[in-house]
Structure 1
Amino acid sequence: MSKRSTPFASRYCSTLDRLKEAIGRKRPGLLRRGVASLRRPDLAPSDFHLFGPLKRHLGGMAFETEDDLISELRKWFDNLDVDFFRVGINSLLSRWQKCIDLHGDYVEK
């Protein structure tokens, strides 16, 4: 199997292993304290792709009722490009690689 056809799960695990090594080098004490959360537990990594466009869409809008908000959200989700989430998920590997390359320092988009 060529490197290009490596299954996503294998690449994902490999990336996490390299990230753990990079964190161990940059902040050695962090991993010795037990499990380290590398993300906010209440947000999936794919949420970061979602919130920016959603915030821009809702910016300046006011809703009189919760039902009005829900209706607008449904319209927005219904009109998303069919590739919206695929693009966001595929961008995760390059973002994780940036974290590794910067040895855990803050990552700008």
Structure 2
Amino acid sequence: MTHVKSDPVTQADLARQRSRVLQYRDAKGVILLDILPQGQCINAARYCSTLDRLKEAIRRKRPGLLRRGVVLQHDNATPHSANLTQQWLQRYGWEILPHPAHSPDLAPSDFHLFGPLKRHLGGIAFETEDDLISELRNWFDNLDVDFFRVGINSLLSRWQKCVNLHGDYVEK
């Protein structure tokens, strides 16, 4: 990795990498699942397979959490709303936090994660994609547990505001 002065990392740069380093973390910052090798895309079958792996990771890493119930937040993308996915969620009794249409500002990654990440990566040029991924993993691994707790806990109030606004944008 080469540290040089360059243009800040753009939202497009982050979006290209977002699916490569998609991680499921709990409120304590524990990585539950790290998925999606390069060149693969998400469809309903792949998403259900990911949910199977997530369920197993929760069982291993957070014993007892499955018995207390899982609340999953995802948007209305086709793989999330497909019949196959809905059947999976019903079979395991996972609760889905309703997501008003066209409300990307409810994703903790968008309102809590990408600002600090963009600031961290600003001014760094990476020689390879692997260097970028390595830096992303390092940054995630060194975040304080409170970072994740604050992001997930603030979702509840943002979600309520969004519902009250009938899906309109939630500023803060």
Cα displacement string for residues 60-90 of structure 1 (whole angstroms, at most 9, x for unaligned residues): 2110112221221122112101122111111
Please give the root-mean-square deviation of Cα atoms over the aligned residues, in Å: 13.6
Q: Structure 1 or 2: larger helix share?
A: 1
1:19 aligns with 2:54: yes
The TM-score with structure 1 as length reference comes to 0.52
Cα 1:90–1:11, aligned 2, differ >3 Å: closer, same or farther?
farther
Q: Judge conservation of contact 1:24–1:30 (CA < 8 Å) in 2.
A: yes
Which entry has the higher C-alpha Rg, 1 or 2?
1
Name the count of aligned residue pairs. Answer: 97
**Percent identity over paired residues:** 92
Q: Structure 1 or 2: larger strand share?
A: 2
Q: Which runs of 5+ in 1 are unaligned?
A: 1-8
Could you say which structure has the greater relative contact order, defined with CA pairs below 8 angstroms and 6 or more residues apart?
1
Q: Displaced runs of 4+ in structure 1, greater than 6 A?
A: 9-34, 40-43
Cα 1:23–1:84, aligned 2, differ >3 Å: closer, same or farther?
closer
Deviation at 1:94, TM superposition (A): 0.5
Cα 1:82–1:11, aligned 2, differ >3 Å: closer, same or farther?
farther
Cα 1:22–1:95, aligned 2, differ >3 Å: closer, same or farther?
farther
The TM-score with structure 2 as length reference comes to 0.35
Q: Which runs of 5+ in 2 are unaligned?
A: 1-43, 70-101
Q: Judge conservation of contact 2:161–2:170 (CA < 8 Å) in 1.
A: yes
Which residue is 1:64 aligned to? 127
